[in-house]
Structure 1
Amino acid sequence: MTTERVRFAAVGCGRVFQRYHLPCADARDAMELVGVVDTDVERARALTADRPQVWTGTRVDRLVQETRPDVISVCTPNDAHAEPVLAALDAGIAVLCEKPLAATVEEARRMAAHPAAEKLLGVNMPFRFHPLLEAFADVARSGAQRVDFTIATPGNRVWRACTPWYGDAQRAGGGALLDLGPHAIDLLMTVFGRSDVVACEVDAPGVEERVRLELSFQGVPATLRIDRAARKLETSVTVTTADGDHVLDLRRNELRLADGTVEAAGQRPELAAISAYFDLLTGAATPHGKVSARDALEVQLVVESAYEHARGANGPLVQSR
C-alpha cells in the first residue's frame, strides 16, 4: 500500500461531488482534497470553508498548475465533461468522470481515443461492482428466457442540481435514457455481453422522462423501463428462467432467487465505482478495477442507437409504464 497521500481534486462541486465523490475520498486516510473548480467560485469556497488549505477557482489549467493533483473527479454537467477530462489526460493525471462519458457520442469518442485513457480514465457506473452481481449472474446466464429492468425515481423533484441543466437538451445530451440508462445497460452488458437495440419509445423529444427500451442479448429479450418522474423508488432487474424469476433489487440490496432464497448486502451500490477507482489509486487491498472509457463508450453507443430508434418510430411518442 502506498505511504504517500493521493492528492485529490475536482471539477464541478455540485450535488454529485458533495454526496458521492467527496465522501468517498474523505473516507480514505490516503486521500487529501487539494483543490476544486466550479463555475460558481463562491459555492466552491463555501463548500471548502472548513478546509483552508484547499485551492478554489474556475479554471482547470490553474487547478492543475496550483495543486498538482494525482487524480481529478469530473462532476460537471454532461456537456462539460470532455474539456477537463482531456486536460487531465494530457497532463498525465488520473481522472474519474461521471456518467455518461459525454453529452455527445463524438465527444465520447474523443475521450476514449486519448492515448492515456485506457490507463488513467475511469467512469462512474457502479452497478457492475454490486456485491450480489456475481451470484445474480450465475443464475442469469444459465437459461435466461427474458430480462426486465426497472428504474423509477422522483428525479428532479427530489434530486435538485445546483444548476438547472438537466432540462436543457444541449447541456444534458438527452433525458432519462442518457442520465440513468448507462447504469442499467452497463450491468446488463457485464452479465450478458453486447446487445442489439430492437425498439425504443420515449415520452418527449430532447429531454424525456420516461423510456421503454427493448434490447436483445444473443436472442434473449430484455426490456428496460425508466421513469424519472415516478412517485415511487425502484431499481431492480429480473431474469426469468425455467425455475422462475430471480430478482436483483438494487435499491434494497437484495438478491431474491426463484427458490425463495434471499441474500442481502450492506454496501451502498451508488458508491461502488468511485470506491473501486479510488482503491486502485491508493493501493487498497483487493481492488475491483474500473469502468473504462472504452466500456462507457460502448454503453453510450447503445444509448445513441436507442435514440435513433425512438426518432425513427412511426406514430406519436408513447409513454412507457
Structure 2
Amino acid sequence: MEQQAQPPLRVGMVGYAFMGAAHSQGWRTAGRVFDLPRQPVLAVICGRDPAAVSAAADRYGWADTETDWRTLVARDDIDLVDICTPGDSHAEIALAALAAGKHVLCEKPLANTVEEAETMARAAETAYARDQLAMVGFNYRRVPATSLARRMIADGRLGTLRHVRVTCLQEWLVDPEFPLTWRLRREQAGSGSLGDLGAHIVDLAQYLAGERLAGVSALTETFVRERPLTDGTEGRRTGAVTVDDAALFTGRFASGALASFEATRYATGRKNALRLELNGERGSLAFDLERLNELWFHDAGQPAAEAGFRRILVTEPDHPYLDAWWPPGHGLGYEHTFVHQARDLVHAIAEGRRPEPSFADGLQMQRVLAAVEESAAKNSVHTPTSD
C-alpha cells in the first residue's frame, strides 16, 4: 500500500525586511531543491504598511497579505508562523502562535530578556506535547562547511578541545551620522552587537564544540552615544543609543576548553567577517564566512615536514546538504543557509521530532547574553600605575 502524502505546510510570515526576504527565499526554494515530506506554501505575509507588505508579497511570492499579526495567527489556513520582526515582539507573537496551535520559527535572538525566553521555552515545551514544534533561526549552522566541521569534531578528529576563537566584524555604524534605527534602541532590540552578532557566534561555537559555555567575562562599549533621529521633524535632533556597539568576552566551556568572542559594528573595512578556529589535541579547524565553501583542517598526526592547514572544498555530494545541489566545485552562498533551515524544519515537523535549535536552546543563549552583559557591567578597564 502506498503511503499517503502529507499535506502542504502553509507558512505565515510576520515581517518583510532583510530577514523576511531571506526567509522567503528559503521557503520558496526548499521544496524545489530537496525532496521534502511536506511542501512549503507561502500563504500569508504580514506587515503594518499595506502598500509595502503588498509589494513584498508580489516580490517574494506570497499569496496573501495581512497588516495585523494577530489576524494572521488566528487564520485557520496557516500551519506555521515565521517571526522576522524586531526582538521586542518575538515573545508576544510566538506565544500567541503556539496558543493558536501553530508551529513557530523565530529569528534569533529568541527574546529581549531571559524572562521572556523562559516563558517562550515553557510554552514551546507544552506545545510539543500537542505535536507543535518551535525553532530558533540560527542560520549559520546550516552552512555546509560548518555542518561538516560539526561532523568532524563529533567524530573525534580534533580530539579533546582546547581553544575556540570566534569573531564577527562589521562596519555599518562607523559613520556617526548613521541614524538611530530600531537596532540601536534597547527597548526594541534588547542589545546591540551582542544580541545581533554575538548570538550568532556563541551559538556557532557551542554547536561546533558540542557543549555549552559554563562562564564568561566581558567588556562592552558604546562608541557613539547620540545619533540623528529619523522622524522627519525640522531641525537637527538626536536620540540616545541605548545598546552596545561592540562586545569582547572570554568564556570557558564545561569541559574546560577556553573561548574568546568579538562582536562589533565598528570594524572599519569589514562587512560581515565571521571567522572561527577550534584547536584540539589532535588537530584544528578554521572557517571564514567570506569563503563559506571552504573549511581548513590541520591534522596534528601528520609528519612535521608535511603538516599544515589544508583546504577542504565543501562542495561534494556527501558533504552536508550538497547532494541536492550542483556538481562538485560549484559553490553555494549566504541565501542557501535559509533554504537548508527551511528543509530541516519541514523534516522535523513531518517526523514529529524536536527541531534544532529549539526554544530551550534559545533560552540557554539568552542566559549567555545576559551573563555577558552582567559581567561587562561589573568590569572596568584599569589603568596601570607607574613605578
TM-score, normalised via structure 1 length = 0.85
Superposition deviation, residue 197 in structure 1: 2.6
Q: 1:247 aligns with which of 250, 267, 286?
A: 286
Contact 1:131 1:267 in 2 (8 A): no
The aligned counterpart of 1:310 is 376
**In structure 2, C-alpha distance between the alignment counterparts of 1:67 and 1:55, rounded to whole Å:** 14
Q: 1:289 to 1:2 in 2, by over 3 A?
A: farther
Contact 1:199 1:309 in 2 (8 A): yes
Q: 1:239 to 1:65 in 2, by over 3 A?
A: closer
The aligned counterpart of 2:127 is 116
The aligned counterpart of 2:14 is 11
Superposition deviation, residue 112 in structure 1: 0.5
Contact 1:151 1:236 in 2 (8 A): yes
Q: 1:101 to 1:41 in 2, by over 3 A?
A: same
Contact 1:37 1:58 in 2 (8 A): yes
Q: 1:153 to 1:37 in 2, by over 3 A?
A: same
String of CA shifts for 1:57-103, please: whole Å, max 9, x gaps. 22223213446201111000000111111111001111100001011
The aligned counterpart of 2:265 is 228
**What SS does the aligned partner of 2:212 have?**
coil
Q: 1:210 aligns with which of 234, 246, 267?
A: 246
Contact 1:25 1:278 in 2 (8 A): no
The aligned counterpart of 2:311 is 262
**In structure 2, C-alpha distance between the alignment counterparts of 1:122 and 1:245, rounded to whole Å:** 30
Contact 1:8 1:32 in 2 (8 A): yes
Contact 2:135 2:355 in 1 (8 A): no
Q: 1:51 to 1:277 in 2, by over 3 A?
A: closer
The aligned counterpart of 2:277 is 238
**In structure 2, C-alpha distance between the alignment counterparts of 1:98 and 1:53, rounded to whole Å:** 19
Superposition deviation, residue 140 in structure 1: 6.9
**In structure 1, C-alpha distance between the alignment counterparts of 2:61 and 2:246, rounded to whole Å:** 44
Q: 1:48 to 1:67 in 2, by over 3 A?
A: farther
Q: Of the two, which has the highest radius of gyration?
A: 2
String of CA shifts for 1:191-231, please: whole Å, max 9, x gaps. 24121233101112842222111000122110011122322
**In structure 1, C-alpha distance between the alignment counterparts of 2:283 and 2:243, rounded to whole Å:** 36
Amino acid across the alignment from 1:239: L
**What SS does the aligned partner of 2:249 have?**
strand
**What SS does the aligned partner of 1:116 have?**
helix
Q: 2:147 aligns with which of 111, 131, 147?
A: 131
1:168 equivalent to 2:182? Answer: no
Superposition deviation, residue 250 in structure 1: 3.2
Q: 1:198 to 1:5 in 2, by over 3 A?
A: closer
**In structure 1, C-alpha distance between the alignment counterparts of 2:100 and 2:378, rounded to whole Å:** 42
Contact 1:55 1:67 in 2 (8 A): no
**In structure 1, C-alpha distance between the alignment counterparts of 2:190 and 2:348, rounded to whole Å:** 30
**What SS does the aligned partner of 1:42 have?**
helix
Q: 1:32 to 1:146 in 2, by over 3 A?
A: same
**In structure 2, C-alpha distance between the alignment counterparts of 1:25 and 1:70, rounded to whole Å:** 13
Note the 1:1-321 alignment, pairs <5 A: 2-18=5-21, 20-27=22-29, 28=31, 30-49=39-58, 54-66=63-75, 68-114=77-123, 115-116=126-127, 119-129=132-142, 130-133=146-149, 134-138=151-155, 141-155=158-172, 164-190=181-207, 191-204=209-222, 206-217=242-253, 218-230=255-267, 231-232=269-270, 233-242=272-281, 245-253=284-292, 254-258=294-298, 259-265=308-314, 266-268=331-333, 270-271=337-338, 272-281=340-349, 289-315=355-381
Amino acid across the alignment from 1:122: M
Percent identical: 27
Structure 2: give runs of 5+ residues left out of the alignment: 33-38, 223-240, 299-307, 315-330, 383-387
**In structure 2, C-alpha distance between the alignment counterparts of 1:309 and 1:186, rounded to whole Å:** 19
**In structure 1, C-alpha distance between the alignment counterparts of 2:154 and 2:276, rounded to whole Å:** 11
Structure 1: give runs of 5+ residues left out of the alignment: 317-321
Q: 1:245 to 1:290 in 2, by over 3 A?
A: closer
Contact 1:150 1:236 in 2 (8 A): yes
The aligned counterpart of 2:323 is none
Contact 1:24 1:274 in 2 (8 A): yes
Give the CA RMSD over aligned residues: 2.9
**In structure 2, C-alpha distance between the alignment counterparts of 1:50 and 1:257, rounded to whole Å:** 41
Q: 1:209 to 1:278 in 2, by over 3 A?
A: farther
